[in-house]
Structure 1
């Protein structure tokens, strides 16, 4: 591991590991996380880990809220059972304190929020339970918005979705546009008065896939003061060349459009989770023939994150800029926004 990677704050804004945790008996959640994930996070130098709550197809819609609560409970249990290694954080101050203690800061997020339905008031309930980031759709349609797989509809946010944006801004909950349909992203950028982010999206100008963001969308997110965190999944980087060079191309493209201070890492590590859980976890990745598996060699999981630092340095990036991209920019945004209610 390069010394720069070791001394920098490293942030991963999207790892669906909670899917693997809740696939097990509750009494094993904490131990499984300690055995399977802490070593990988430590090897990768991860200091800040966002844990999305993603609800698989069999639970939607009827069981979505119950499964959402189970996954949030799993996040709390793995933090309580591994307090020497991780800390569940709700504010930037919490994150700074956790990192200063040498523990990994965990932040809970909702991915598509199917458990909310049209009941936007439940966002405050989720906030009380520790959720600090949320998106409104996955690939398909929800009561709040259409995901990117529904782009042909041209749909913006629903009335409930508009209320959700306002409520999230009031609570100090970051809005995540990853997976949101193109018209929905435009709508959010019209409404936003606080920074928005993309937790795991890449550059559409380099890979024309609906899950990626256009240059205009990137500029719009930058104008809010937000950060776009690059997705590592090979199929979102290039049709066939799932390489580290193609990943760095996306980082450089987004930095060129938004500025180096607006880029982060949102790897979307799925290899172990898809292997380790019963389908159809994340089955939507087969939309339009995109294969569910296809990873940058060495970046199948968090242990490989130092490769990104090495590759950026190899492209001639300064140490300060590399440190910003691998975690500094996300840390700055979280310090500024997490849990800070609107005046």
Structure 2
């Protein structure tokens, strides 16, 4: 069996969802890059992260009136982080950017929208957001936007709105990858029906292992794979299991997804938010208080814990190429092929 630490160290590791940008944006503009370098860069390096997707998530107090303003603030924060850490990270707009950045030994940052409150009904804003570096987008979070309903609104049985259908076409033409994590069940099926390019589920796990509205059924996992997409398995305790919050249980989700749709369609979307959640509770953010996550998989509270997943998969007898695939090659290959490529160029 390969030595887990050595395998992990020289593997490509991609994290499709870490809300660290939320905390960077809470600092004064002149200190954001330094905060990232001091707090997050060591964690990413300890976890061997080579590709980091940075979601732009809006806290409730910015919705809806301040959505566009806060989205622009967070996008600017991402560019400030890059400007102050160019020796270590690079914002990537294309697959070639990703390839070059990894070859230089830097971390490739990919900017994403987690919810599109900033867009409203003005689908043309995706072109502006694309110019600013956005390369992934999920239309909603748990609730409702003007494009779609989130999974906490499953009882509505809603498909994508008319503007949501227009947004699919706009994003596909621009080369913005569409993310179905957080979409409601019916909206997910609608997106899978009409998409003409590969999709991602940046941070979702397997419903068959843990029945939760945030996880994907086998039928939806198969449809995602049939469309050429990748699911990033989420490690947040509530989505892993009702009670058994262990690395082994996370590996059960990876086992299930890989056996169902193949390792080339499976990756990691850990959703590391412990520091975010702790910060919100310390700041007494009442609008978040009831939703702040208080339970985490021990050892997987942050990026530094990612080698534990490698060790567990090897312990289970996974072949080394399969481990490398889910650690990062699945998302790497999809990004290299699709990121920023306009529909007219395909």
Matches within 5 A, 1:5-16: 5-16=8-19
Note closer, same or farther for the CA distance 1:91–1:253 as it changes in structure 2 (3 Å cut).
Answer: same
C-alpha separation between the residues in 1 aligned to 2:285 and 2:188? Answer: 27
Residue 55 of structure 1 pairs with residue 55 of structure 2: no
Deviations 1:150-179 (A, max 9, x none): 000000000000000001100111000000
Residue number in structure 2 paired with 1:118: 121
Residue number in structure 2 paired with 1:75: 78
Residue 207 of structure 1 pairs with residue 210 of structure 2: yes
Matches within 5 A, 1:160-309: 160-277=163-280, 278=283, 280=285, 283=288, 286=291, 292-309=293-310
TM-score of the superposed pair, with normalisation by structure 1: 0.97
What's the secondary structure of 1:40's corresponding residue?
helix
* Cα deviation, residue 279, structure 1: 5.3
Deviations 1:276-313 (A, max 9, x none): 24454993983xxxx72211111100001111111111
C-alpha separation between the residues in 2 aligned to 1:229 and 1:338? Answer: 17
Is 2:61–2:287's contact at 8 Å kept on the other side of the alignment? Answer: no
Residue number in structure 1 paired with 2:46: 43
Is 1:56–1:281's contact at 8 Å kept on the other side of the alignment? Answer: no
Note closer, same or farther for the CA distance 1:66–1:205 as it changes in structure 2 (3 Å cut).
Answer: same
Pairwise CA RMSD of aligned residues?
Answer: 1.3
* Cα deviation, residue 261, structure 1: 0.8
C-alpha separation between the residues in 1 aligned to 2:200 and 2:260? Answer: 15
What's the secondary structure of 2:343's corresponding residue?
coil
C-alpha separation between the residues in 2 aligned to 1:102 and 1:285? Answer: 40
C-alpha separation between the residues in 1 aligned to 2:277 and 2:73? Answer: 19
What's the secondary structure of 2:232's corresponding residue?
strand
C-alpha separation between the residues in 2 aligned to 1:281 and 1:54? Answer: 17
C-alpha separation between the residues in 2 aligned to 1:127 and 1:285? Answer: 34
Residue number in structure 2 paired with 1:141: 144
TM-score of the superposed pair, with normalisation by structure 2: 0.96
Is 1:157–1:187's contact at 8 Å kept on the other side of the alignment? Answer: yes
C-alpha separation between the residues in 1 aligned to 2:232 and 2:238? Answer: 16
C-alpha separation between the residues in 2 aligned to 1:104 and 1:282? Answer: 34
Is 2:267–2:328's contact at 8 Å kept on the other side of the alignment? Answer: yes
Deviations 1:135-155 (A, max 9, x none): 001101110000000000000
What's the secondary structure of 2:235's corresponding residue?
coil
Name structure 1 gaps, 5 residues minimum: none
C-alpha separation between the residues in 1 aligned to 2:326 and 2:286? Answer: 29
| Runs of 4 or more above 6 Å deviation | none
Q: Aligned pairs, how many?
A: 339
